[in-house]
Amino acid sequence: MHAHDQEHGDHSAYETGPERISVLERIFGENDVAAEANRAAFDAHGVRSVNLMSSPGAGKTTLLVHTLAHLRDSGVRAGVVEGDIETSIDADRLAGFGAQVALLNTGDGFGGECHLDAPMVAKALTTLDLASLDLLLVENVGNLVCPAEFDVGAHDSVMVYAITEGEEKPLKYPVMFRSVSVVLVNKMDLLPHLDFDLELFRRNMAQINPDAPLIEVSARTGDGLAEWHEWLSTSREPVRSA
């Protein structure tokens, strides 16, 4: 099920009424066609794709630094589509780990969108050699709303959630939390210093998406990342087309 089939977020900038509905249907319809084409390309080359989403500053890039090093040492041929509104700061951090990296600045010809969509990812794929990849990680633009609504063609979606954000976020942003296969609960090294109720967060998460496992990690210290790497290696893998 596509994210927009489940629930829409706040698109109040669009006109209300039938015209607004028509615009949204066209946007999501065109996106779905591109997403299916992306997925078909991944499947044809035997590449598994994972969409990483989070709010800004939750730790996606730091997590990716550790993950790419692990994948390199494990012999997994990895690629990254790095999404940001501006700059190559995060993409530069991911260089030197043996991964192909394609940078997507949404401020460059895409209107400064706060998310990646399937046509953007399709453009990035033209700069990658899918035939030489086993895994493609899409680092989406930091945002808790729009990225969850746009299918980019990935096989799985993962959320990196920092405990500094508070326990209530699953209830306030249910579309995001409902759309993911797993939640990485990041910055656990800060737990002794915060008034964060981990059990309440777990209950809130169970209310919104009881099927998504929670993996407690610290991208800064590396604690818990072995479980994330295990999930990444054992979850659904596409079969290379003949």
Local confidence pLDDT in tens for the 242 residues of the chain: 444 444 444 444 445 567 766 655 777 789 999 999 999 999 999 999 999 999 999 999 999 999 999 999 999 999 999 999 999 999 999 999 999 999 999 987 777 789 999 999 999 999 999 999 999 999 999 999 999 999 999 999 999 999 999 999 999 999 999 999 999 999 999 999 999 999 999 999 999 999 999 999 999 999 999 999 999 998 655 544 44
The pLDDT, as a whole number, for residue 240 is 46
**Fold for the domain defined by 14-234:** Rossmann fold (3.40.50)
**E strands in the chain:** 48-53, 78-84, 100-105, 135-139, 156-162, 182-186, 214-216
- CA dist 168 and 147 (Å) reads 19
Give the residue extent of every domain in the chain. 14-234
**Residues near 56 by beta carbon (within 8 Å), at least 6 away in sequence:** 142, 143
Q: What are phi and psi of 73, to 5 degrees?
A: -70, -20
Its pTM stands at: 0.87
